[in-house]
Chain A
Amino acid sequence: DTEVTQTPKHLVMGMTNKKSLKCEQHMGHRAMYWYKQKAKKPPELMFVYSYEKLSINESVPSRFSPECPNSSLLNLHLHALQPEDSALYLCASSQGQPSYEQYFGPGTRLTVT
Chain B
Amino acid sequence: DAKTTQPTSMDCAEGRAANLPCNHSTISGNEYVYWYRQIHSQGPQYIIHGLKNNETNEMASLIITEDRKSSTLILPHATLRDTAVYYCIVIRGDDKIIFGKGTRLHILP
| Interface residues, chain A, with chain B CB atoms under 8 Å away | 4, 42-45, 48, 56, 58, 90-92, 98, 100-107
Q: Are A101 and B46 in contact (CB under 8 A)?
A: yes
Q: Which residues on B sit within 8 Å (CB–CB) of A104?
A: 42-45
A107 to B40, CA, bound (A): 12
A107 to B34, CA, bound (A): 21
Q: Are B96 and A45 in contact (CB under 8 A)?
A: yes
Q: Which residues on B sit within 8 Å (CB–CB) of A91?
A: 43
A54 to B49, CA, bound (A): 26
Q: Which 8 A-B pairs have the closest CB atoms?
A: A104-B43, A42-B99, A104-B44, A90-B43, A101-B46, A100-B91, A45-B96, A43-B99
Q: Which residues on B sit within 8 Å (CB–CB) of A102?
A: 44, 46, 97
Q: Are A42 and B34 in contact (CB under 8 A)?
A: no
Question: A-B contact count, CB below 8 Å?
Answer: 48
Asked if B21 is at the interface (CB within 8 A of a chain A CB), the reply is no
Q: List 8 A-B contacts (CB under 8 A).
A: A42-B87, A45-B97, A98-B93, A98-B96, A100-B91, A104-B44, A106-B42, A107-B42
Please give 18 more A-B residue pairs, beta carbons under 8 A apart, in addition to A92-B44, A101-B49.
A4-B43, A42-B99, A43-B38, A45-B96, A56-B96, A58-B96, A90-B44, A91-B43, A92-B43, A98-B93, A100-B91, A100-B97, A104-B42, A104-B44, A105-B43, A106-B41, A106-B43, A107-B42
Asked if B24 is at the interface (CB within 8 A of a chain A CB), the reply is no
Tell me what chain B mostly uses at the interface: helix, strand, loop, or mixed.
Answer: loop
Q: Which residues on A sit within 8 Å (CB–CB) of B99?
A: 42-44
B contacts with A, residue count (CB < 8 A): 23
Looking at the assembled complex, report how far the CB atom of A98 sits from the nearest CB atom of chain B, in whole angstroms. Answer: 6
Q: Which residues on B sit within 8 Å (CB–CB) of A58?
A: 96
Which of A102, A103, A105 has the most CB atoms of chain B within a 10 A radius of its CB?
A102
